[in-house]
Amino acid sequence: MQINRLFEIIYILLNKNITTAKELAERFEVSVRTIYRDIDTLSSAGIPIYASQGKGGGISLMDSFVLNKSILSDKEQNEILFALQSLTVTQNPETDRVLSKISSLFNKSNMNWIEVDLSPWGSDKNNISQFTVLKDAILNRQIIEFSYFNAFGEKSSRKVEPVKLLFKIKVWYLQGFCLSKNEFRTFKISRMSDIRVTQHFFTTRSPEAQPEIQNVKSAQKQIDLQLQIAPQGAYRVFDEFNEKDITRNEDGSFTIVTALPEGEWLFHYILSFGTDIEVLAPQNIREIIQSKLDEMIGKYKKTIT
């Protein structure tokens, strides 16, 4: 509490030429004697703060003082401010207030170098609200309830102690302890609906009780693939594959040699490139893709009555 009060006192003095011990005592609801002890503490720390007697007297700082001259280097100040700005992702109402105060203490402005938004581009208000609800539940340690569709389309009701939001392979996940299954689980946020924050709070489980939660795809068998992507698909090539796996061909196309997790999702992923992609190897994947394309064509050959 005292440290917070000391920073508040410096902030007040930086934004006000002079104040009195009585005014500070009333503001912080402490005694005048406590304020003078705080002034002594700040002076001992090298802060050029002084008190003057008589009419018009009071407590003030030297006019040239900014915090960087007595405690932190310019680099250290920037690191603190950058860290605070990145924390705006939490949308904690205290963050902006603290950032404003620290910026003033360091006599720095125009530090708005980063903005972190948990929601994807094009998100509607519901998507953004969903992330805010989950974030608040994690920070407040409140149990949440929601409906969840698994990979087979089966719906279930879940009650979870939320621990962490995770962004993996362009997808957002929620990690937490599922009370319904009595174990740690990872949930794909896009499959969650009817999210409700309960009034039941939980105690964070010990690190020893939290196994490393792996993304489902990382535990699956990997398939070695050789892909060719047309020039018009270049906008996805460098977004979705490692540069070391990409070879640019003379005709502008790209050859990619990579490994992707096995499963039905792989075929949907390949087909999402439309006519811009061709699987060069292995042969069995080519045949499965051809079979799925034949099935799709068959559906469109049917006459709708």
**CATH class of segment(s) 220-301:** alpha beta
Report which secondary-structure segment, H or E, holds 266. Answer: helix 264-271
Q: Does pTM surpass 0.75?
A: no
Q: Which residues of 180-211 are buried (b: 16+ CB within 10 A; e: fewer)?
A: eeeebbbbbbeebeebebeeeebeeeeeeeee
* Per-residue pLDDT, 69: 45
Distance CA 167, CA 134 (A): 14
Architecture of domain 2-65: Orthogonal Bundle (1.10)
Distance CA 256, CA 234 (A): 12
Distance CA 238, CA 218 (A): 21
CATH number 2.30.30 given to 125-218: yes
Question: What is the DSSP annotation of 204-263?
Answer: PPPGGG------GGGGSPEEEEEEEE-GGGHHHHHHHS-GGGEEE-TTS-EEEEEEEE-S
Give CATH 3.30.70.240 domain extents, the chain.
220-301
- For residue 282, is the peptide bond before it cis, meaning its omega torsion is within 30 degrees of 0? yes
Distance CA 51, CA 37 (A): 12
Give CATH 1.10.10.10 domain extents, the chain.
2-65
- Judging by beta carbons within 10 Å of its beta carbon (0-12, 13-18, 19+), is residue 242 exposed, middle or buried? exposed
State the 10-residue block means of pLDDT for the chain, 305 residues long. 68 75 88 87 76 77 58 61 55 56 60 54 60 85 93 88 82 89 89 93 74 51 93 89 92 94 88 94 95 92 76
φ, ψ dihedrals at 86, nearest 5°: -65, -25
CA–chain centroid gap for 113, Å, is 16
* Per-residue pLDDT, 47: 75
Rounded to 10 deg, the angle between the 74-86 and 93-105 helix axes is 170
Give CATH 2.30.30 domain extents, the chain.
125-218
